Structure 1
Amino acid sequence: MDVVAAVSVVIRKLTDLLIQESNIFKEVIDEVEQVRVSLRRMMNFFIDAEDKKERDDGVTKWVEEFLALVYNAEDAIETFVLQRMHSRRMNFPRKYICIHKKLRHGADLHNEVQNINKKIQEIKIKIQKIKEEKPGYFNMHGSSYQDEGQTQNQQNSQSHSMDEKSELFGFEEAKSKLVTRLTDTSFRGLPFISIVGVVGSGKTALAQIIYNSSEIIGHFDCRAWVSASENLRDALLSILEAMGILIVDKKATDEELVAKIRENLQNKKFLLVLDDVQSLEVLKGLRVAFSEETVGSKVLLTTSNVNIARMANPTRRPYQLMPLNDEDTWNLFLKQVRLPDDAQFSDSEILSKLRTKIITTCKGLPLTIILLGGFLSTKTASYKEWLKVLDHPSLNADIHKDFSYSRQPFHNFFLGNENEVEVAKILALKYNYLPFHLRPCLLYLGLFPKGYKIPVRRLLRLWLAEGFVNHSPNETPEDMVEGYLDELLNQKMIEITRRKDGSPKICVIREELHDIILPKAKYVSLFYIHRIMSEEEKNDSPMPSVRRVAGHGDIIDYPCKEPPYIQHLRSYLSFNVQKKDIPAKEIRNFLSNVIDHRGFGLLRVLDLERVYKPQLPENLEKLFQLRYLGLRWTFLDTLPHSVGELPYLETLDVKHTYISSLPNSIWKMKHLRHLCLNEIRLDMSVQKHRCSLTQLQTVWGLFVDKKSPVKNVLNRLTSLRKLGLTYHLDSIEELNEWIARLSSLQSLRLRSKDENGRPSQLGIKPLSSLENLTHLYLLGNLPELHDGHEFPSGLRVLTLSVSKLTKDPMPILAQLPSLSVLRLLADSYTQKKMLCPREGFGKLQILHLWMLKELEEWTVEEEAMQNLRELEIRRCHKLNKLPDRLLNLSTIEKIILTNMPAKFAGNDQADKQKKLIITKTLQF
């Protein structure tokens, strides 16, 4: 089925190409359409064949031949299109000289598609022969599979979302004991504390909860999380990066890296989490960096290897994580699913059988319970359906072995790899049930390094650029791709590791799943991973034709930089983020090779996020098909002028760079959807009568002043969902009129600054007409708030900074029915008293009060803020005390006091209420 998923992406891309460039095909339109239709029909032949339990070598051969045929068709057709586009851009003399080449290429494509159609017919004949020899081998249920995928999709969208804390279920005592060990200041031995347990026992989940707990945040000056590596050097570099030390001499020895770590540990209480340590050599090296001398710092280590756990600290027994008991197993399972509503469950005997089946299958392992529960939650809610899944041979082949995980002695707890088999079997089963439209998205995650923290923003836009998302007349591509992510999250295939204001920001793929999908992705030639290789490995070439390259090492070491190895390259993503003293010119040379062979390239994705100053070729416009150009955090100074000539570019991200200008031609990019800048002023003077950016969804980091007027340019952008502006304008009437018409706007950041860069009058009108607006950030002086109707009723996140309000805003803001996050930052309110009224802020969960210099008295009335979870007060030096009402709230999880007077932080009212207060000191 992986081949089918890969082929479906190619067919979708060819369909888009036929629509977008129909005038180019003309004389070969019929042949190309015949190829597309034939490939779609052929795809159904392989749905059953590829999923047969007993693989037939003959069928496997034709599956691989079909995949090669599909890629050849894609290459031939896209090459033809780009050749025509290349010819269009030539000046007249060169264009005249190349007319005969155009005709020749038309004939070449005609012959190519004829050959492709001929090969398709040959494969059909071979398939028919297999059908005759093995009746029933092919069921030809292409349409039924599609229906199943659609049904699965609908069920996934309704599946029960897991409580974020459910992975800690049954381990509350473990958390308490480990937090006590980590915060123990009297212990002076080796700082290593180990959690040891079998695969799937919840080691990482427990460590994550501890790492993010209020007690740990308040105790340590800084923290870092590192997924352990089999290579000591990689682990050391990861630790330095987590410490914020990004510039490291590439030639530094391991000893010098250890010295650098020790230097930065001086006079700090530092917590390092080393997750999933499997190498004794890595552990030995890290013990040198974290010795008894690093007083106050601690290392929390997770491993399934008891020898590693004992070696980490021979004087201190590791914490052994045991499986859940039967009761906790069943209760955790119930948290993941909604029990079927069928009448059978009125029979307690039937329910008892299900309970026994779940307990026997999962054996008390939280990961197995969560994965199985997440999977069953997507199936039809009936007992028979669940029982069918639980009896699936793929699931039970290795699970039901004679292996007991009852409360055993520590030395008998690690008897084998059955737990790894269990987790792998469940993940493989979940993958086999995954709809076709999600498979390319999931396989694509294999090109990221294992354990890599993937920005959700980056991932979704990459999926879009790669052509993985189906088109829908009723939904935007952005809505569609967010739905794909939600489905994979509901299936527990992807985990969110960081959220901000309720939105997912960072995600990771489970490491067990990474091991499963990597060979599948390579089998369908989805990508090639280039890594740092030994001299012997450098002599071995990668696959003959590479479609996507994920660079985990310097591209200068890439073994096959010449055609034909890279002439069909569609994507290049670099993860070689180690900063250097000189720009990365190897990138330019590599891309020049991609372009120079034919005068253009097939590249759709160029993602260099966090690569230090990569040099780009000047003829970037030759990458006609480029959809995604990611340069965030590259610290580049300039862009090639030709970037504005990329006709299909959808995402241009130069945030966190030193790029100060973009070419005027940017306004002609009619397919651009996401433009992320770094306080850049765009020249709009030449575009008063022409602006093609009608598809823009995101404009972030734009600077507007009298040299970049709103009228006739920006006010034509009416489809925006996310807008971030900094402006210095004498009159903002046109700006107000434009913003009021952005009916689709969901996120808005406005910052008003004077000619010296200081906050000034915002001058905005009420935003209540923006019904879809959920996130609002305002920096600059505001007029007094009169009532809650100045903001849209659906507003969930509000941040005010330097608002200079003299009238208490809390009674007004308390009326916003959906507000869950409120940040009142520096000088947003300038008076002495503040009142949160009775029953106000019903949905507020997070409140930050920063640098309210005059605030002395804060009152919270009864039944206000009943759902508040987090409160941070920073540098409010005149504030006398915390409201008693907040200390009595059962929902409060942490109160963070940053740079507050010692007498405030030490107030005994908190001790009386047994509320944990975290105190921090930040350098300004």
Structure 2
Amino acid sequence: MDFLDVVEVVSAVILQLKARSYGESYIIDRAIIQVAETIRKDLERNKYFLINGEVEKLLENLLAAVYKMEDFAETVVPRRMHERRMGFGRRYIFILRQILNLKARVDFASEMKKIVSEINHAIDELGVSRQSHPREESDVIGSEEEKGKMVTWLTDTNSCPNLGFILISGQSGSGQTTLATKIYKSREIERHFEFRAWVSASDDHVSNLRSILQKITEDSMVVDMESTERESMEKKICEILHKKRWLIVVDNVQNPNLFKTRPGSALSDVGDGSRSRVIMTMTTTSENECLIKGFMDGYQSLCYELQPLQDEDAWHLFLKKVRLLPDNVESSDIDKLKRKVLAKCEGIPSAILVLGRFLSTKKCYEEWLAVLEHWDSKIFALMNSEQLSGSRPCLLYFGLFPKGYEIPVRRLLRLWLAEGLIVTDNRNPEEIAQGILTNFKNKGLIEIVKRRKDRSAKTCRMTGILYDFCLSKAEDIFGLLHIHPTAPDDESSDASPKFGVRSVADHCDIKNYSRKYSHMQHLRSYLSFNIQKKDTPVVGIGNFLSEVIGHRGFGLLKVLDLERVYKPTLPQNLGQLYLLRYLGLRWTFLDTIPHSVSELRYLETLDVKHTYISSLPNSIWKMEDLRHLCLNEIRLDMENRNNISLTKLQTLWGLFVDNNSPVENGLDRSINLRKLGLTFHLDHDSVDKLNAWIAHLEGLESLRLRSKDEDGRPSKLELKPLSSLKNLTNLYLLGNLPELHSEYFPQSIKVLTLSVSKLEKDPMPILARLPKLSVLQLLADSYNGKEMVYPNGGFQSLKSLKLWMLKELETWTMEQGAMQNLEELEIRCCHKLKEIPIINRNSIGKIILTNMQEEFVVNVRAKFPKEILETPPPLPVRCDHCRDVKQTQQNSSTTGDA
């Protein structure tokens, strides 16, 4: 059990509780603030010094106490809501509650005080444990000789009077932080320096100064300050540290030049005989070697680079963390194992420790070899590094998905937020979640499987040994994830969980779930991957959810994700999952949804896309926390909805709007949208109001507009200029456009799709001037002209071009310098087109021709290398108007996965 992982899950739980107000239950609010302060001061401070401590039982005690606090606190809200909804005898229950109120408050406060005491005791024991395990010092990296040498440099002011900065560098996982920790905690350093502080580095110098100021003042308010002038913070630090002998350790520095200081600031005193010092730890890469050299040349500094361990030292460290296999294993096999371990870890201490702990969970020699076959030490060393600070729970969350499963990025990010794994004051927490996912990808922890046309990530996955590693950590460390066995007779299904069952991933059929109610009464999330045949509805889910709601009449579930489960049964009292934040029913093909869904007041995501659900309760407009609403051409009643207040809505996709549900009845109050997909049938005045509302959506990034007549066929699209939408990147338009104007499109557009536009005038002179346009898709009847000219120097960013079902198009002219970066061309059902013009062969990588005349295909084959030409089997349909429309609607997802 790793201390860093436990710290982060504990901190995430407390931050999540702290972000929610429990109203009249002020005792809970006060207790949460108290625990949060304890964690900030003590637990966070100790996380640098307990990375490899043998304190598993103490960590379990801490987790158990924090989970107990979470359960106790979050039960208050649904219990209160449930009592308010009780019908029979409500008046008498109210009177009885008032009589018993005093005793209840006393018992309540006593229980809360007891839980807080348990948490504080667990944290205190962890601190004591560190001091009572001195042998742990020999487990960490960095010999006593290294430590002694650096302590001398820091304290001997006669031999090194002007030394200011010491930079401890090395490969990732070499033990820079651990060596700095040993130095920082040594008795010589404690005696020599009047003041010491430990700070985790940021990429922003102001944030670094704020962290230092908070450490030296012990003032939590400094951390909460949104912005502080750099000069004022430097002055304040200087006032506090002036004429004191101090040491500051700045851990995990990315760029040492951020600490270049101006004359008169506190840090400028180091290296000037002041006897104050700054230690930085930094990972050496090929990219930052020049930064390190430049910093060393500009300051009175010393760089100490940690080297990989020698083979015998590395093997000795490995044997400290793993018990060798039974005696019946041949010595030659042990030698083979030793060579593989040393080769995989390359002398990196963190990699050796992580590998040793993971191998200790395996049962036989063959399993060890299987692990070593796929082990990447640089990747696994990250698991114990500060580079994943704040995001470990998000990484371990991949363990809930089946191994190798392609996870929609849209789904993953919203689940992280609903689970409370990311707590932020940022107005758009989805950006924070996206940043974490990008960081995982950049560090090689996950892979992007599919990308959208604009190259953004569409699906991702974690595969191989890293998945097994994360799953084992999540199950063991958190007691957080339970994977319902893929086989009903799996013996592990009845194992007693350490902290009860808090998350269930159903990989087969939940009807075989044998957990006792006591184990799942605090269940927080349920994800099903029970993908059966589409003629077999999944019936066990309803019974399981009814058990979760249980005899209390409510449940604590926050996430219910049934995406792609065919027609699952849902209990009619679904609304009694009062805390539910995520309800994912995409691709379930459900016909209806329980009306009680209207009681889910904390819901953030409601996804019924690709279902047959045709209506939702009108009270959906009262869900003030709703951020993502994904529908399936549903018309919602908005008449006289003066209390609509969906101001947090980020995604509104699949809504049908007509004259009976006008925009001005409340929908226009949703002004923070980033993704909007509308189908509408409106009169002229209502279309003007729709356009006016859209023009004010300044944060809009993706827009799909489809205009239809009363028979559901594409009709006139009265488009107004969209040039005010400076953030709009993806645009899909279905409907008749008399002609295009340059002000229709903002300069930010990257992906543009036109369908059934029936343009008579060549649109290319206008579209060619869009500087960022990378994907252009002209679908069925988007252009009715015979000739298309790509102007000189136009389309410089275009990477992908689709021409589908342009029935009248005969000639295509490419002027000099146009479309120089085209990579992919797809032409379908353009039967009158005679030939392709000359395209830059250095950039083009794929040409797809479908349902084209044989003569045309022969001409193209003669011009381009055969390896880039694809001719899929002909579509077994005619290219008539109805088929065109249906086909374009099926491909409407090109504006992004909402």
Amino acid across the alignment from 2:817: E
Deviation at 1:129, TM superposition (A): 4.0
Q: Distance in 1 between matches of 2:758 and 2:812?
A: 18
Residue in structure 1 matched with residue 14 of structure 2 by the alignment: 11
Contact 1:722–1:747, Cα closer than 8 Å, also in 2 = yes
Deviation at 1:532, TM superposition (A): 3.0
CA offset digits 1:768-821 (Å, max 9, x no partner):
1111111000000012123x2321011111000000000000111001111000
Q: Secondary structure at the match of 1:881?
A: coil
Q: Distance in 2 between matches of 1:398 and 1:543?
A: 24
Q: 1:574 aligns with which of 521, 528, 537?
A: 528
Q: Distance in 2 between matches of 1:780 and 1:717?
A: 25
Q: 1:82 aligns with which of 55, 78, 103?
A: 78
Residue in structure 2 matched with residue 776 of structure 1 by the alignment: 731
Q: 2:584 aligns with which of 630, 633, 656?
A: 630
Distance 1:4 1:341, change over 3 A: same
1:341 partnered with 2:290: yes
Q: 2:752 aligns with which of 798, 806, 811?
A: 798
Contact 2:59–2:122, Cα closer than 8 Å, also in 1 = no
Residue in structure 1 matched with residue 468 of structure 2 by the alignment: 515
Q: Distance in 1 between matches of 2:818 and 2:442?
A: 33
Q: Distance in 2 between matches of 1:145 and 1:472?
A: 25
Contact 1:46–1:63, Cα closer than 8 Å, also in 2 = no
Q: Distance in 2 between matches of 1:422 and 1:658?
A: 44
Deviation at 1:894, TM superposition (A): 0.6
Distance 1:390 1:741, change over 3 A: farther
Contact 2:679–2:705, Cα closer than 8 Å, also in 1 = yes
Distance 1:96 1:503, change over 3 A: farther
Amino acid across the alignment from 1:639: I
CA offset digits 1:86-125 (Å, max 9, x no partner):
2233348425415545836544431221111222343355
Worse overlay, 596-605 or 750-759: 596-605
1:605 partnered with 2:604: no
Deviation at 1:645, TM superposition (A): 1.3
Deviation at 1:647, TM superposition (A): 1.1
CA offset digits 1:311-348 (Å, max 9, x no partner):
xxxxxxxxxxxxxxxxxxxxxxxxx963632475999x
Contact 1:437–1:468, Cα closer than 8 Å, also in 2 = no
CA offset digits 1:359-402 (Å, max 9, x no partner):
x9xxxxxxxxxxxxxxxxxxxxxxxxxxxx97532346899xxx
Deviation at 1:589, TM superposition (A): 0.9
Residue in structure 1 matched with residue 25 of structure 2 by the alignment: 25
Q: Secondary structure at the match of 1:71?
A: helix
Residue in structure 1 matched with residue 712 of structure 2 by the alignment: 757
Deviation at 1:130, TM superposition (A): 3.3
Residue in structure 1 matched with residue 810 of structure 2 by the alignment: 856
Residue in structure 1 matched with residue 249 of structure 2 by the alignment: none
Q: Secondary structure at the match of 2:494?
A: coil
CA offset digits 1:491-542 (Å, max 9, x no partner):
1111111001212111011322101111110121121100233546277344
Residue in structure 1 matched with residue 147 of structure 2 by the alignment: none
1:60 partnered with 2:65: no
CA offset digits 1:614-651 (Å, max 9, x no partner):
11111112111101000000000001111111111000
Distance 1:691 1:903, change over 3 A: same
Q: Secondary structure at the match of 1:703?
A: strand
Q: 1:438 aligns with which of 391, 409, 422?
A: 391
Q: Distance in 1 between matches of 2:390 and 2:105?
A: 33
Q: 2:603 aligns with which of 638, 649, 655?
A: 649
Q: Distance in 2 between matches of 1:51 and 1:758?
A: 64
Q: Distance in 2 between matches of 1:582 and 1:152?
A: 59
What does 1:100-249 align with in structure 2 at a 5 Å threshold? 100-101=96-97, 103=101, 105-134=104-133, 147-148=200-201
Deviation at 1:78, TM superposition (A): 0.9
TM-score by length of 1: 0.69
Q: Distance in 2 between matches of 1:770 and 1:32?
A: 42
Worse overlay, 138-147 or 871-880: 138-147
Q: 1:734 aligns with which of 659, 665, 689?
A: 689
Amino acid across the alignment from 1:721: R
What does 1:783-822 align with in structure 2 at a 5 Å threshold? 783-786=738-741, 788-822=742-776
Contact 2:645–2:669, Cα closer than 8 Å, also in 1 = no
Larger radius of gyration: 2
Contact 2:527–2:561, Cα closer than 8 Å, also in 1 = yes
Deviation at 1:150, TM superposition (A): 6.9
Contact 1:910–1:917, Cα closer than 8 Å, also in 2 = no
Amino acid across the alignment from 1:26: Y
Q: Secondary structure at the match of 1:427?
A: helix
What does 1:575-590 align with in structure 2 at a 5 Å threshold? 575-579=529-533, 581-590=535-544
Residue in structure 1 matched with residue 888 of structure 2 by the alignment: none
Distance 1:88 1:874, change over 3 A: same
Q: Secondary structure at the match of 2:20?
A: helix
Residue in structure 1 matched with residue 337 of structure 2 by the alignment: none
User: Which consecutive unaligned segments of at least 5 residues does structure 2 have?
Assistant: 138-180, 186-195, 209-284, 297-304, 312-344, 356-365, 878-898
Q: 1:448 aligns with which of 387, 393, 401?
A: 401
Contact 1:910–1:916, Cα closer than 8 Å, also in 2 = no
Q: 1:660 aligns with which of 604, 609, 614?
A: 614
Distance 1:738 1:144, change over 3 A: farther
Residue in structure 1 matched with residue 149 of structure 2 by the alignment: none
Residue in structure 1 matched with residue 148 of structure 2 by the alignment: none
Residue in structure 2 matched with residue 865 of structure 1 by the alignment: 819
Q: Distance in 2 between matches of 1:919 and 1:418?
A: 42
Q: Distance in 2 between matches of 1:30 and 1:605?
A: 27
Deviation at 1:43, TM superposition (A): 2.7
Residue in structure 2 matched with residue 713 of structure 1 by the alignment: 666
Residue in structure 2 matched with residue 918 of structure 1 by the alignment: 870
Worse overlay, 831-840 or 338-347: 338-347
Residue in structure 2 matched with residue 489 of structure 1 by the alignment: 441
Q: Secondary structure at the match of 2:395?
A: helix
Q: Distance in 2 between matches of 1:781 and 1:65?
A: 66
Residue in structure 2 matched with residue 533 of structure 1 by the alignment: 487
Worse overlay, 82-91 or 456-465: 82-91
Deviation at 1:915, TM superposition (A): 6.4
Residue in structure 1 matched with residue 44 of structure 2 by the alignment: 44
1:700 partnered with 2:653: yes
Residue in structure 2 matched with residue 97 of structure 1 by the alignment: 93
Deviation at 1:905, TM superposition (A): 0.7
Q: Distance in 1 between matches of 2:799 and 2:113?
A: 63
Distance 1:124 1:463, change over 3 A: closer
Q: Distance in 2 between matches of 1:690 and 1:721?
A: 22
1:670 partnered with 2:624: yes
Contact 2:28–2:73, Cα closer than 8 Å, also in 1 = no
Deviation at 1:420, TM superposition (A): 2.8
Distance 1:592 1:145, change over 3 A: farther
**Percent identity over paired residues:** 51
Distance 1:797 1:152, change over 3 A: farther
CA offset digits 1:818-858 (Å, max 9, x no partner):
10000000100001111001100010000000000000000
Runs of 4+ that moved beyond 6 A: 135-146, 149-155, 396-399
Q: Distance in 2 between matches of 1:84 and 1:397?
A: 48
Contact 1:31–1:110, Cα closer than 8 Å, also in 2 = no
Q: Distance in 2 between matches of 1:855 and 1:145?
A: 69
Q: Secondary structure at the match of 1:24?
A: coil
Contact 2:800–2:824, Cα closer than 8 Å, also in 1 = yes
Residue in structure 1 matched with residue 173 of structure 2 by the alignment: none
Q: Distance in 2 between matches of 1:153 and 1:584?
A: 54
Distance 1:538 1:427, change over 3 A: closer
Q: Distance in 2 between matches of 1:97 and 1:738?
A: 48
Q: 2:854 aligns with which of 893, 902, 923?
A: 902
